[in-house]
């Protein structure tokens, strides 16, 4: 039975954990919260222990100090795993969550069993960087919902928006309801840290998947390919006709991809451990 009651770590991080098996941690994007992962929680918890949490400054988790670096967000995940007594986990990061997952892989590789980077950013062009810096300035001046309409247009297909108006309205309210400082601190990192400790990517030694949507304008297929090329043995997947919020818009398609990766990765690691033993 899937239990979806949120709990808190000693440091105040709000999380939910359900299912049995190898642990899989889900990290959401800027302005969102752990609720975005509903489709993945249901789809993965039949085979894995699924852990979803609110990043600093989002949902019910505490607000970060202004200027908190990306390491602070990786430390939040470390504290969560320590609290749950999870020695190693596969970490799945979406968008900004992908940057947090990469930072965690860089600073705490011994705690990582596998890595999935979904719809995230890497090596932005000058034009792409200018666009996201402009959106950061708008958020600083007008608050978290300054870019809501443009964001939703980038994130979802027009068909999905038209078919799910209540969900789109709820997401708009979620964006508007974010703590301004918490949102801005995260968005500034999202805007500037796409090349965070890029030299460490070559040291990642766990099974890795980098995936995005064919029609994702901010986390492009080329970004996914470039990032995967930096990580030894990383697989890359580009889902046809999908946009940024593909975990929400197409949960079955994304879950199928994730389960195939997780099953293969954990089977391979089990074989390696057997050989070493």
Q: State the SS3 of the chain.
A: CCCCCCEECCCCCEEEEECCCCEEEEECCCCCCHHHHHHHHHHHCCCCEEEEECCCCCCCCCCCCCCCCHHHHHHHHHHHHHHCCCCCEEEEEECHHHHHHHHHHHHCHHHEEEEEEECCCCCCCHHHHHHHHHHHHHHHHHCCCCCHHHHHHHHCCHHHHHHCHHHHHHHHHHHHCCCHHHHHHHHHHHHHCCCCCHHHHHHCCCCEEEEEECCCCCCCHHHHHHHHHHCCCCEEEEECCCCCCHHHHCHHHHHHHHHHHHHHHHHHHHHHHHHHC
Measured in degrees and rounded to the nearest 5, phi and psi for residue 66 equal -60, 135
Across 135-160, average pLDDT: 92
Residue 70 scores a pLDDT above 50? yes
Token pair recorded at residue 121: 């950013």
- What pLDDT is stored for residue 274 in this prediction? 42
- pTM (predicted TM-score): 0.95
Residue 96 scores a pLDDT above 80? yes
- What pLDDT is stored for residue 147 in this prediction? 82
Token pair recorded at residue 268: 């391979």
- Closest among 231, 247, 189 to 65, alpha carbons compared: 189
Within 8 A by CB and 6+ apart from 97, the residues are 26, 27, 28, 29, 55, 118, 120
- What pLDDT is stored for residue 31 in this prediction? 95
Domains in the chain: ranges and CATH? 7-276 (3.40.50.1820)
What's the pLDDT tens digit per position in 219-232? 999 999 999 999 99
Residue 36 scores a pLDDT above 90? yes
What integer best gives the mean pLDDT of the chain?
Answer: 94
What's the pLDDT tens digit per position in 241-273? 999 999 999 999 999 999 999 999 877 665 544
C-alpha 206/C-alpha 24 separation (Å) is 14
> Residue 32: how many CB atoms within 10 A of its CB?
24
Across 8-36, average pLDDT: 97
C-alpha 244/C-alpha 7 separation (Å) is 28
Strand 14-18 relative to strand 208-213, pairing: unpaired
- Closest among 86, 52, 62 to 12, alpha carbons compared: 62
Give the confidence band of 115 by pLDDT, cuts at 50, 70, 90. very high
Query: Is 92:53 a contact under the CB 8 Å cutoff?
Result: no
């Amino acid at each position: 039975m899937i239990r979806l009651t949120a709990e808190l770590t000693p440091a105040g991080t709000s999380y939910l954990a359900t299912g049995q098996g190898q642990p899989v941690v889900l990290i959401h994007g800027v302005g969102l919260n752990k609720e975005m992962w509903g489709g993945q929680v249901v789809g993965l918890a039949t085979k894995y222990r699924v852990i979803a949490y609110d990043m600093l400054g989002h949902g019910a988790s505490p607000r970060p100090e202004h200027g908190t670096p990306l390491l602070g967000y990786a430390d939040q995940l470390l504290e969560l795993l320590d609290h749950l007594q999870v020695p190693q986990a596969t970490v799945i990061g979406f968008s900004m969550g992908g940057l947090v997952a990469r930072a965690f892989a860089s600073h705490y590789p011994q705690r990582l069993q596998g890595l999935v980077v979904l719809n995230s950013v890497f090596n932005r062009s000058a034009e792409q960087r200018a666009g996201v810096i402009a959106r950061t300035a708008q958020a600083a001046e007008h608050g978290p919902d300054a870019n809501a309409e443009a964001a939703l247009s980038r994130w979802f297909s027009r068909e999905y928006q038209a078919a799910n108006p209540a969900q789109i309205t709820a997401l708009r309210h979620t964006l508007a309801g974010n703590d301004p400082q918490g949102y801005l601190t995260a968005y500034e990192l999202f805007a500037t840290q796409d090349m965070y400790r890029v030299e460490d990517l070559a040291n990642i030694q766990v099974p890795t998947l980098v995936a995005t949507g064919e029609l994702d304008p901010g986390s492009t297929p080329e970004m996914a390919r470039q990032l995967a090329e930096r990580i030894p043995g990383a697989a890359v997947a580009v889902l046809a006709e999908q946009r940024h919020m593909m975990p929400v818009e197409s949960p079955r398609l994304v879950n199928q991809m994730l389960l195939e990766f997780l099953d293969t990765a954990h089977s391979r690691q089990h074989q390696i451990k057997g050989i070493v033993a």
